[in-house]
Amino acid sequence: MKKWRFVSVLFSVMFLFAMAATAAADTTYVVQWGDTLAAIARRFNTTYTAIAQANNILNPNLIYAGQTLIIPTGGGGTPPPPTPPPAPGPGTTYTVQPGDTLYRISLRFGVTVQAIAQANGIANVNIIYVGQVLQIPGGGTTPPPPAPGPTTMGLGGQTQSLGHPDLMNHAGMTWVKFQHKWAPGDDPGALAGAIQQGRSNGFKVLYSITGANVYPQPNSIDFNAFVNFVRGVASLAAPPDAIEIWNEMNIDFEWPAGQIDPASYVNNMLKPAYTAIKGVNSNVLVISGAPAPTGFDNGTNAWADNRYIAGMAAAGAASYMDCIGVHHNAGATAPGATSGHPGGSHYSWYYQATRDLYYNAFGGARQVCFTELGYLSGEGFGGLPANFSWAAGTSVAEQAQWLAEAYTLSANSGRVRLLIIYNVDFTLYDPNGDPQAGYAMLRPNGTCPACDSLSNVTP
């Protein structure tokens, strides 16, 4: 955070009086659906930067319906009534749907991204939101109706070897997630085989790219080398469909202790990685690294994920991602529940609270992508590790039911773009450490109840 320089008491008092006088002459405006800061500024004959400064808005592309803004007009009085949007003329209007991007909308109507942006006063072409009404210049083509909710969201599973594509297909999955533990000097081409394997089995591919070293030392992340690597991955002849930029960077297991900082992540990694990827292939979906869901926060070894994502938003992360990475892997209640978890009332224990926290942190400017969502069941194993005792009461039948419910809630919310289940078929089960296989849909006896439950709710 920036620290304010001290000024004289006299200057401070004069400044406060001046601000009070200005505020008395200003007016307010409640943001409506479809508004942009530029359009509001034109309505009140001011500038979008003046409104942003008056309201401490760090990113002028992030406002939301219902937000009350101070309008520094200097004149006061009753604000003019909202003017209707300009007549489309030879064009038409389009309401943004879940999963839309300005690029996809431009292709649908046969116009350019720049033309739509200019017609709607959009300063950053990467930021539109569900429900926003866009003026489409020229053409006049009526867009096709939006697809039903469940088909607008991708469903996939994380796997180590893609050994059971038949089960994944039965579950309705269309995505597969792989993870690469990157180190400087790695060859992007090493990922081509897994990508090809996923594609040949009919899946879109998400590659999560994170660091090879656990508990990395201070200043040990070579940001330039990492950015060059993801650029190389996006440049492959058959690149992945999506790339997740790092993993759980709010804890010292994945990011150097004492250097955990969302602004550093955004400015040193996410922003340059996004720019590099889009520079070589604009079709690759860029997902921000999902923080570890935790309430522990000592500022050195970990930041609570709610504080971390607020810092990401303040650093402008929404401009450098297509989707917000989220993990939810500590549930022990049905996804629709809001209480009853053995661990307590913290939001991270509950699906809906976690989903809405991440979505709302960015004002609805981006949908969320669950790059890990799973329910742990120790059934069929020799007991759970002590740190995972909260899942002791979860049966395999509940795991299957809850995964199907999580899918349905996600698909119908309009807030989720991608849901990756953790996991499909991991086999490692350490009763004293990491119970990965307890999360697996494929159980030790060879059955997959979750595959059947998901098949019943997926298209």
Token pair recorded at residue 333? 């209640």
Contacts of 15 (CB under 8 A, 6+ apart): none
Confidence at residue 69, expressed as pLDDT on a 0 to 100 scale: 85
Confidence at residue 5, expressed as pLDDT on a 0 to 100 scale: 29
Residue 157 CA from chain centroid, whole number: 17
Confidence at residue 62, expressed as pLDDT on a 0 to 100 scale: 67
Write down the residue that tokens 């979008």 correspond to.
48
- The amino acid present at 310, given as its one-letter code, is A
pTM value? Answer: 0.69
Q: What pLDDT, in 10s, does the model give residues 379-415?
A: 999 889 999 999 999 999 999 999 999 999 999 999 9
Could you tell me the mean pLDDT of each successive run of 10 residues in the chain, 459 residues long? 30 32 60 70 82 77 71 56 40 77 73 81 78 76 38 87 96 97 98 97 98 97 98 97 98 98 97 96 96 96 97 95 97 96 96 96 94 97 92 97 97 95 96 95 97 95
Contacts of 340 (CB under 8 A, 6+ apart): 333
Q: What pLDDT, in 10s, does the model give residues 225-281?
A: 999 999 999 999 999 999 999 999 999 999 999 999 999 999 999 999 999 999 999
Token pair recorded at residue 162? 């893609």
Q: CB atoms < 10 A from the CB of 382, how many? A: 7
8 Å CB contact between 449 and 401: no
8 Å CB contact between 103 and 286: no
Per DSSP, the three-state class of 201 is: coil
Confidence at residue 113, expressed as pLDDT on a 0 to 100 scale: 75
Token pair recorded at residue 423? 């996991």
Cα first-last separation, the chain: 47
Structural element, H or E, at residue 245: strand 242-245
Confidence at residue 47, expressed as pLDDT on a 0 to 100 scale: 83
Token pair recorded at residue 72? 């520094």
Sequence-ordered strand ranges (E) for 289-395: 324-328, 368-373
HEC secondary structure over 24-77: HHCEEEECCCCCCHHHHHHHCCCCHHHHHHHCCCCCCCCCCCCCEEEECCCCCC
Confidence at residue 151, expressed as pLDDT on a 0 to 100 scale: 37
